[in-house]
Structures are given as C-alpha cells and as structure tokens.
C-alpha cells in the first residue's frame, strides 16, 4: 500500500497526476473511497489531466458517468452515490466501460464486493483542516 499526505486540494490533484503517470497496464478500475468533501473529484481532476488533457472535470453526481475522451486513453468517471446497489451498477452497463478505457468510480463503497480483480482502491481520508491521507492499494 502507498500512502500520500496531502495538505491542499492542489496536492490531492498532484496525487491523481502521479497515479496516472504510474498506472499499471492491467488496471481497469480505480475505486475511490471517502466521505463527502474528502477530495475525490480533485483527485480525479489530476488523474484526467494526464490521460485526457484539456478536459473539464466535474462531479458526475447527476449524470452518473462523465466521459473524458480527448486523450489517447478514454477515462470514464462514475458517481455511484445515487445508485441503489449492485443491480443498478450492472444495469447501467459499467462492465462494458472496463474494456473501453480507464474507469474511476466515486462512492465505490456501494460496489465494493463486486470490484473487478483489475482494480486499485484509493481511499481519501479527511484529517485536520485541508489535510488528507490518500491510501492506494491493489
């Protein structure tokens, strides 16, 4: 497991950049865990800036998935918060996205028992003030 201490939103974005630059070839899903306001979207913003430069990243809370396809490898950004369990996740066709590019899901707690083998888990924990602990594990 890798742990990163972030002191700001910018450092959380840099952690996303670092992961995108070191992403193993066999990963199909980055499963994000963390409470509301932990910095999940900031992390995604950094990650997407590497793989889909120029994309404007925003939370997919109401659209469920945002697609960033301006780079060499598409990124599909999911928000699972409003879904009611694994049946909803599968009915939206999430498995089809795994073979099309890199998937990143916020609120992966709602899908944790169903994560594919080729996943990385990224937990973002709020500390004091704007500090965050980012843990990355296979």
Which tens digit of pLDDT belongs to each residue from 77-119? 988 887 776 777 667 777 788 888 899 999 888 788 878 888 9
- Please give the Cα distance from 24 to 50 (Å, whole number): 14
pLDDT tens-digit profile of 3-50? 999 999 999 999 999 999 999 888 989 999 999 989 999 999 999 999
Domains (ranges, CATH) in the chain? 2-137 (3.40.50.300)
Q: Per-residue confidence at 131, pLDDT binned at 50, 70, 90?
A: very high
Q: How far is CA 25 from CA 19, 33, 42, 44, 86, in A?
A: 12, 22, 23, 18, 26
Angle at 29 (CA atoms; ends 83, 108), nearest 5 degrees: 35
pTM over the 0.85 mark: yes
């Amino acid at each position: 497991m890798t742990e990163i201490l972030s002191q700001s939103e910018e450092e959380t974005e840099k952690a996303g950049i670092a992961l995108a630059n070191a992403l193993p070839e066999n990963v199909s899903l980055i499963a994000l865990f963390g409470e509301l306001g932990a910095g999940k979207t900031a992390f995604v913003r950094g990650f997407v800036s590497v793989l889909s430069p120029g994309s404007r990243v925003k939370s997919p809370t109401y659209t469920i998935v945002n697609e960033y396809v301006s780079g060499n490898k598409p990124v599909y950004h999911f928000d699972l918060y409003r879904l009611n369990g694994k049946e909803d996740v599968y009915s939206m066709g999430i498995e089809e996205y795994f073979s099309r590019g890199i998937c990143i899901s916020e609120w992966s707690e709602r899908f944790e028992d169903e994560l594919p083998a080729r996943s990385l888990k990224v937990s973002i924990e709020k500390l004091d003030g704007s500090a965050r602990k980012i843990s990355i594990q296979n």
